Amino acid sequence: MKHKATLAMATVATALLLIVSTNAHADEELDWNSLDTSQQEVLAKFKDEWDSLPAARQERLARGADHWAGMTDDERKAARARFSDWGQLSAERRELIRERYDIYRSLPAEEQRRIRENYRRYKHMNDERRRLVRERYRNMTPEQRQRARDRMRDRPRPPPRD
């Protein structure tokens, strides 16, 4: 179970880094030749399809390439492992993670902070305490679980990504 929690967090981190954009979207396409050499090296596999990508995706990829260039070797190694984990997930699981992240991003900053803090506390619990928390969730009635899911589902959703 510890591995699943780690995988889930790594997946979310990957989604944050490369999949989900900030609210700023590019209005115009980026010309491939306007990318600097390091960006072109990182994004080489996109070269042939670059002109057909939506402008917002081009912008996210360019920012991701900049971020990659600033990483240490260890950070890159960890990112590659997360990319691999992400690729091993089913399309349905990746979509569920994206949807949940979109819900998270639509929350007020204070609620996002609360969720991060709760996750941090959960992550630092010993195995026995985590087991008890999971057990408490499993012991919730279907109605209690449904209310919790409804609270998340009824939150305002951000606009769809490209």
Cα→Cα distances 28→16, 37, 68, 70, Å? 23, 20, 23, 25
Q: For residues 16 and 10, what is the distance between their CA atoms, to the nearest angstrom?
A: 10
Domain boundaries, the chain: 2-153
Polymer length of the chain: 162
CA angle 120, 143, 130 (to 5 degrees): 25
Q: For residues 139 and 12, what is the distance between their CA atoms, to the nearest angstrom?
A: 26
* Predicted pLDDT of residue 98: 93
Going by C-alpha positions, the residue among 156, 147, 145 that lies closest to residue 111 is 156
Q: For residues 23 and 84, what is the distance between their CA atoms, to the nearest angstrom?
A: 27
* Predicted pLDDT of residue 129: 94
Q: What is the pTM of this model?
A: 0.55
Residue 111 structure tokens: 């609620």
CA angle 162, 23, 10 (to 5 degrees): 75
Low-confidence ranges of the chain (pLDDT < 70): 1-27, 152-162
* Predicted pLDDT of residue 154: 67
Cα→Cα distances 110→98, 113, 117, Å? 21, 5, 10
* Predicted pLDDT of residue 24: 42
Going by C-alpha positions, the residue among 59, 50, 51, 65 that lies closest to residue 22 is 59
* Predicted pLDDT of residue 157: 61
